[in-house]
Structure 1
Amino acid sequence: MTAIRLMIQKISQEQIFMLSVLVVNGGNYLYNLLLGRLLGPEAFSEAALLITLLLVLSFLGMTFQLAVAKFSVLFTGGQLERFRGNMYKQSALAGLLIGFLIIVFSKNLQLLFNAQSHWMFVVFGLGVPVYFFMSVNRGTFQGKQEFGKLSLTYQTEMWSRLLLTMALLYFVDTLPGMVVSLGILLSFLFGLFPTEVKGLSLAPKERLHPDNSKKVSRFLLLTACYELTQIIINNSDILMVKHYFNAFDAGLYASLALIGRVVYFVAWMFVMLLLPAVVQKHRDGEPTAPVLFKYVTYIALLSLAIVLACYLFPELIISLMFGKSYLAMSGLLWQYALATSLFAVSNIFAYYFLSLDHYVPVIISGVLGLSQIVLVAVFHDDLATVVHMQIIAMTLLLAVQVFYFLIKERDKSLTGGAIPPP
């Protein structure tokens, strides 16, 4: 027992968080796989639509989470208290507005995505304010590098969604979309544990300094723009396939996307660790590029392994995960995994510069994200063409991000200082 306690004590919070992310990703995969097997391709397309909307929501919430994470490192005392109060207020307003719009336009969303019922969008909209509050809470833990508590919020959200959704599917006789939507809403409530409200005041005595307020506004704008590009790049394909193709093909594509995106979901673990580390080193005047190299190497090796596995054993992977009814997608599996891997690596570069307040990578991602939509809108004869258009767009994105990094490193070596501002 003593040896076990000593071993546990030697495990850092970062290692706990990395292990937790692997468990959470595994649980989310199990959640999707069970839905795919239980519902079949047509009904699964409905569930996949809600899961995609959940990913869209997570990118929006990430704007608040990353802002709180960054400035929790930079601000102290009354300035930190005021900043946190402002973030909770702004996230509440944004959540109420977006949730209201989803509810109001629920019938339009039903028609746009060929859904069976508009009520699943209504239930989903009710959960948006809760999710944004949860995102600010997570940003506090991330900024303080309290990865144990941060891990716990992800665990409570994931396990509650998995267990409650499966229970509802078994006991409640209603449309699958409604069940999945209700499970998502309930998981947001569970994800609020634990919540960091110690020292929080929505009306603090000290006002945020104008310079600090300007820094926060700039970062929020940059991050919101970049998260918007993430939404476009990472989710537009599923939404467009749901629009252009029938329910059966959309369900097949959703299974392909779920398997191929495993590298991207794991990459989020490194983004969580990257941002506070880069901000801290930049503030202390230390080199930040080694942090970038470390996480790019991790993602590149992981991506290579996943793409290779998808190339060598596509039918085995699809059969084990979704069943034989999805085997038509086996030939495209490694290609979709390649597109996702290119995106995951370029994402590390983008968040690196975003943590240093550089806006050029945001513009780059926005332009190439829109180019992906244009390519798929013009070329969508079949599902293979959709995947090929994404490979083209993501290859260009990574190439430009690397080129921008090399230019900044050259400028830094010439000036002998930190990376110059954009």
Structure 2
Amino acid sequence: MQILATLKSRKISPEQLFMLSVLAVNGGNYLYNLILGRLLGPAQFADAAVLITFLLVLSFAAMTFQLVTAKFSVLFENDIFKSFISKIYKNALVVGLVMGTLIVVFAGQLQTLFNTSSSNMFVIFGCGVPLYFLMSVNRGVFQGKKAFKSLSITYQGEMLSRLVITLGLILLFNIQSSFVIAVGILTSFLFGLIPFKFPTLIPKKALQLSETHSKAIKSFFLITAFYELTQIIINNSDILLVKHYFESYEAGLYASLALIGRIVYFIAWMFVMLLLPTVVQLKKEGKETASTLFKYVGYIAAISTTIVVVCLSFPETIITLLFGDSYLAMAPLLWQYAIATSMFAISNIFAYYYLSLDKYVPVIISGVFGMLQMGLVIFYHESLEQVVHMQIIAMVLLLIIQLVFFKLNQSEKIT
């Protein structure tokens, strides 16, 4: 009773509510993946992992629109804001339609490339791509305006609907195929649109953006798109390359390893969502921003260290509890993969911090090391262990370079 009284007496801030919501969403997504891993087994889970990886790739691509919307939702107001939102929605829809059509048209080739059992899963997935881009712009407005309650609802809706619908179809009809997983993903995009204000799509008064505003939007969009591309490469190329170079059983084992090890990154993303609008607002007000960076880097470093230590101490227990005995072969690599994702998560905070300040060198650095990671895996993939080691090398070097850039940048300010 005393605990309940204490919780009631403390008012939870919107930021804290959003952080709790993100933790719940990540937990739900993890539960979704873990149940699929147990129900399908390593070989079939490899197909599911391809779709899940495609979903992550899509989320990074659409994140370009979300971050652009979030930043300029802070900077623009009134009629300029309405005109900007109208334009960004239309552009997002066009890009979504083009990408979705390409996935549908080349579904057969994608099946061959990634050794999947069916091409239909790519067709269904492609149909949902335009919805995801609209959803991302919608989220960008909530993020920029710090409407964290609405932002939480859209993430919760997507996660819960995907979990309930996918697992419901599998358990009720006993259909263990990638088709069911694709249907669940497509349906979740519809739920993720809630809440959505349709009138903002086509405003009654369309004010023409000035050349200065248009140039600023284009510049930020292009550099953000480039950075999200590096995110796609660093986060997902390993799973897709393993699926290409290794047998389905080994690819399924690796997918389970990646899912557990990436918990660091998914937690770090919660802080990135809070970091960007905060830094943009501080810069707009002419205030100091480095302390905000230090705060979030400290959070991620502490969380990363804890996760790596736990993975090193109890690898077999973790894998058995989460995926089952079938995946135990990955136990020795668990803590090593966690190190790679930890280095990347911390580097990511630095990159998004400078992206918020319109400084793009760290973004280019990330792109270079993203390509380095992919190149290392392409040339050195004799075993799954070697694949993990290549990622550690690339990510440790990336973090070192980001820290050096930060130090040099701070020295320039002092002088």
Decide: shared fold, TM above 0.5.
yes
1:52 counterpart = 2:53: yes
Provide the residue aligned with 2:23 in structure 1: 22
Query: 1:262 and 1:73, CA in 2 relative to 1: closer, same or farther beyond 3 A?
Result: same
> Alpha carbons of 1:8 and 1:207: their partners in 2 closer, same or farther (altered >3 Å)?
farther
> Whole-Å Cα distance in 2 between the matches of residues 101 and 205 of structure 1?
31
- Partners in 2 of 1:4 and 1:136 — Cα distance? 39
1:103/1:203 Cα in 2 relative to 1: closer, same or farther (>3 Å)? farther
Confirm whether residue 324 of structure 1 aligns to residue 310 of structure 2: no
Deviations for 1:126-149, whole angstroms, at most 9, x for unmatched residues?
010000000000000000001111
Amino acid corresponding to residue 102 of structure 2 in structure 1: L
| 1:98 counterpart = 2:96 | no
Give the superposition deviation at 1:413.
1.3
Whole-angstrom CA distance in 2 between matches of 1:45 and 1:238: 9
The Cα offsets for residues 20-65 of structure 1, whole Å up to 9 and x where unpaired, read as 0110011001000000000000000010110000000000111000
Query: Whole-Å Cα distance in 2 between the matches of residues 403 and 70 of structure 1?
Result: 26
> What does 1:38-117 align with in structure 2 at a 5 Å threshold?
38-117=39-118
Report how far residue 362 of structure 1 moved: 1.6
Shift of 1:171: 2.8
What 5-or-longer segments of structure 1 have no aligned partner?
415-422
TM-fit CA distance, 1:204: 3.1
Q: Which deviations, in whole Å up to 9, do the C-alpha atoms of 1:327-347 show, x marking residues without a partner?
A: 000000000000000000000
Q: Separation in 1 of the partners of 2:118 and 2:59?
A: 23
Provide, for residues 321-378 of structure 1, a one-character-per-residue CA deviation record: whole Å limited to 9, x for no partner. 0001100000000000000000000000000001111121121111110111110011
Counterparts of 1:164-313 in structure 2, within 5 Å, are 164-172=165-173, 174=175, 176-197=177-198, 201-202=202-203, 204-313=205-314
Letter in 2 for 1:405: F
1:174 CA displacement: 4.4
Kindly indicate whether the alpha-carbon contact (under 8 Å) linking 1:85 and 1:203 is maintained by their aligned counterparts in 2. Answer: no
- Displacement of 1:175: 5.2
Q: 1:419 corresponds to which residue?
A: none
Separation in structure 2 between the aligned mates of residue 301 and residue 357 of structure 1, nearest angstrom? 28
Tell whether the 8 Å contact from 2:89 to 2:134 is kept in structure 1 after alignment: yes
Please list the CA deviations of residues 57-86 of structure 1 after superposition, one character each: whole Å capped at 9, or x if unmatched.
000111000111100000011110010001
1:363 aligned onto 2:364: yes
TM-score, length-normalised on structure 1? 0.96
Q: Which residue does 1:395 correspond to in 2?
A: 396
1:301-340 deviations in whole A, cap 9, x for unaligned? 0000000000000000000000011000000000000000
* Alignment partners' CA distance in 2, 1:391 and 1:9: 42
Amino acid at match of 2:413: K
CA distance in 2, matches of 1:410, 1:5: 45
Residues in 2 aligned to 1:179 and 1:8: alpha-carbon distance in whole angstroms: 45
Q: Tell me by how many angstroms 1:6 deviates.
A: 8.4
The amino acid across from 2:338 in the alignment is: A
Kept in 1, the 8 Å contact 2:90–2:201? The answer is no
| DSSP-derived class of the 2:277 partner | helix
Distance in 1 separating the partners of 2:217 and 2:276: 15
Match of 2:133 in 1: 132
Q: Are 1:81 and 1:201, in contact at CA under 8 Å, matched by a contact in 2?
A: no
TM-score (norm. length: structure 2)? 0.97
TM-aligned CA deviation for residue 202 of structure 1:
4.6
Alignment identity in percent? 60
1:183-232 alpha-carbon deviations (Å, 9 max, x no partner): 00000001111114465535633111110110000000010000000000
> Compared with structure 1, are the counterparts of its residues 5 and 155 closer, same or farther at alpha carbon in structure 2 (3 Å cutoff)?
farther
Verify the 8 A CA contact 2:86 2:202 in the aligned structure 1.
Answer: yes
Residues 80, 209 of structure 2: 8 Å contact kept: yes
State the one-letter code of the partner of 2:341. T
Q: What's 2:387 paired with?
A: 386
Q: Is the 8 A contact 2:169 2:175 kept in 1?
A: no
1:172 CA displacement: 3.5
Q: How many equivalent pairs are there?
A: 413
Q: Structure 1 residue runs of 4+, over 6 Å off? A: none
Q: How far, CA to CA, are the matches of 1:129 and 1:360 in structure 2?
A: 31
Matched with 1:154 is: 155
